[in-house]
């Protein structure tokens, strides 16, 4: 995918299964939003093939669009609307919408039903965003960085909600995030996008295996900390022991956390 002459996606090859919670993880500018905008049919691609629910998003029909739920990164302000009123209004565009009160109850927004949207907290607005995304009973829900700005409690509740939607309603969820812990917690599978390419794709344990390669061996030499990344830390320690002709000052061998490995991966690829 190119914007003018700038190539921002290169050979992104993905298959997402029905009923799956799939996260697209990556740093700022990795191409996550561009990818999902192409899948949503909001952005025309410059090359490649795309099929979403059996159709090419560029040739989308209204019937195809009605099967999607879309929660955008930026809030489209409907601040003057009442919460229930807005949900009922958006629902009226669909054939078989959810009952607004039921949905508000499911999302923990019953107490806010008669409030103006502009009065909601950030977390409540995000939950309303999700309610708006699912009111038409979509088969596929796109969520672009849904938990940005959430406190830990709101994040946890949101994760439970997404898990429930996938389990109870069989909705396929594609969610973008910067947060590795979120992807690990929530996703059946995750693709890490770095610089427009998929660096790794798999289940949380596959991700850990791919990303967490090697150990860090640290020691002090000439008054400075040295770090070696290696697949064979015992050999490295043995060689250091020989070189120092005895105990190695400050020797430490540690397997990096998944978070550290991820940061290293995106740092290396950037």
Ligand X SMILES: Nc1ncnc2c1ncn2[C@@H]1O[C@H](COP(=O)(O)OP(=O)(O)OP(=O)(O)O)[C@@H](O)[C@H]1O
Indicate which single residue of 2, 13, 18, 29 sits in contact with ligand X (rule: CB under 6 A). 29
Q: Which is nearer to ligand X, 100 or 133 (CB)?
A: 133
**In angstroms, what is the minimal distance from the CB of 164 to ligand X?**
26
Judged by CB under 6 A, how many residues of this single chain contact ligand X? 12
Q: Are 120 and 112 in contact (CB under 8 A)?
A: yes
Q: Which two tokens stand for residue 178?
A: 């910067």
Indicate which single residue of 12, 26, 39, 136 sits in contact with ligand X (rule: CB under 6 A). 26
Q: Which stretch binds ligand X (CB under 6 A): 13-21, 24-32, 149-157, 242-250?
A: 24-32
**In angstroms, what is the minimal distance from the CB of 123 to ligand X?**
19
C-alpha 143, offset from chain centre: 8
Q: Are 192 and 198 in contact (CB under 8 A)?
A: yes
Binding status of residue 177 toward ligand X by CB under 6 A? no
Q: Which two tokens stand for residue 94?
A: 């669909």
Binding status of residue 190 toward ligand X by CB under 6 A? no
**In angstroms, what is the minimal distance from the CB of 252 to ligand X?**
34
What phi, psi does 245 have (nearest 5°)?
A: 55, 45
Spell out the residues 6+ positions from residue 125 whose beta carbon is closer than 8 angstroms to its own. 75, 117
Indicate which single residue of 11, 15, 17, 28 sits in contact with ligand X (rule: CB under 6 A). 28
**For residue 65, what are the CA distances in angstroms to 39, 123, 133, 140, 164?**
11, 27, 12, 10, 23
Positions touching ligand X (CB under 6 A) are 3, 6, 8, 26, 28-34, 178
């Amino acid at each position: 995918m190119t914007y003018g002459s700038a190539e921002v996606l290169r050979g992104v090859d993905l298959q997402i299964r029905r009923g799956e919670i799939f996260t697209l993880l990556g740093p700022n500018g990795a191409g996550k939003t561009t990818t999902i905008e192409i899948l949503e049919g909001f952005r025309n691609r410059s090359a490649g093939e795309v099929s979403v629910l059996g159709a090419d998003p560029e040739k989308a029909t209204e019937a195809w669009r009605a099967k999607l739920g879309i929660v955008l990164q930026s809030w489209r302000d409907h601040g003057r609307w009442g919460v229930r009123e807005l949900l009922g209004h958006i629902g009226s565009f669909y054939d078989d919408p959810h009952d607004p009160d039921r949905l508000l109850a499911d999302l923990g927004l019953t107490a806010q039903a008669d409030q103006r949207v502009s009065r909601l907290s950030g977390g409540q607005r995000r939950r309303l965003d999700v309610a708006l995304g699912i009111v038409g009973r979509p088969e596929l829900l796109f969520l672009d960085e849904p938990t940005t700005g959430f406190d830990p409690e709101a994040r946890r509740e949101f994760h439970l909600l997404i898990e429930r939607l996938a389990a109870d309603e069989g909705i396929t969820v594609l969610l973008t995030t910067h947060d590795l812990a979120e992807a690990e917690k929530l996703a059946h599978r995750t693709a890490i996008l770095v610089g427009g390419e998929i660096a790794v794709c798999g289940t949380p344990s596959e991700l850990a295996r791919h990303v967490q390669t090697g150990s860090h061996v640290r020691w002090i030499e000439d008054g400075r900390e040295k770090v070696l990344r290696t697949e064979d830390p015992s050999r490295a320690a043995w060689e250091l022991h020989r070189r120092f002709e005895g105990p190695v000052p400050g020797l430490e061998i540690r397997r990096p956390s998944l978070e550290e490995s991820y940061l290293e991966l995106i740092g290396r690829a950037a």
